[in-house]
A = this chain, B = another copy of it.
Amino acid sequence: MPDPPAGKQDVIFDTALRLFVERGFFGTPTSLISREAGIATGTLFFYFKTKEDLIDALYLRVKAEAAEAMNRGLDQETDAKAKLNRLGKNAVLFGLEHPEKMKFMEQFAHTPFISKSAREEGISRFFFLKDLIVQGIQEGQIRNLDPELLIFMMASSFSGLIARVGTATSPKEREIFVEQGLEFIWNGLAKKSSREPDRRKKTREYM
């Protein structure tokens, strides 16, 4: 069951999230949002100045929630590999528990309806990923490559993994996918053998 919305704002958020994913931004009239949320049209515009304000706020909320979920319990792990493993499981769990929020982020990540400032603030919630990668490079567990690139690769891989896990037909299969997918990502990130910090000649210094 969906978490019970507290106030009017939450009802509007939940309804708008569902409808935007189902029908797109311009495909969802504000009149429909308010009707489905059980409020009058005027009330929606009391809480959000415009339709754009609504989707900006929704976007920020979902991004913050996802970042929070992925970050959960990370500081209980010590080394980069353990942290990334936990991060990956958090991400998959979030994707499974909130499929419509995943779809929303995917659908509106590259869309012009979100203001530049909201998009930037949303991205900033995931800055902790960079610290994680850099830590792993310093500790010698992760290959000394461009950290931004590794973040892009990792993040996109997560989304591919979540998409595939969503098609699993049993909990057993789901578990297998998660395990294999996280292994894929770790193999992409990890230094081959050495447990020491990288001392090779470098074409470039990334940290």
Q: A11 an interface residue at 8 Å Cβ cutoff?
A: no
A contact face: mostly helix, strand, loop, or mixed: helix
Q: A80 an interface residue at 8 Å Cβ cutoff?
A: no
Using known A-B contacts A156-B157, A156-B160, determine if residue A146 contacts B26 with beta carbons closer than 8 Å.
no
A204–B170 alpha-carbon span in the complex (Å): 14
Taking residues whose C-beta sits less than 8 angstroms from the other chain, chain A's interface range is: 35 or more
Q: A107 an interface residue at 8 Å Cβ cutoff?
A: yes
Q: How far is the CB of A88 from chain B (nearest CB, A)?
A: 12
Using known A-B contacts A180-B145, A185-B188, determine if residue A27 contacts B113 with beta carbons closer than 8 Å.
yes
Most buried by B among A157, A181, A204: A157
Task: Identify which of B22, B109, B112, B164 contacts A149 (C-beta below 8 A).
Answer: B164
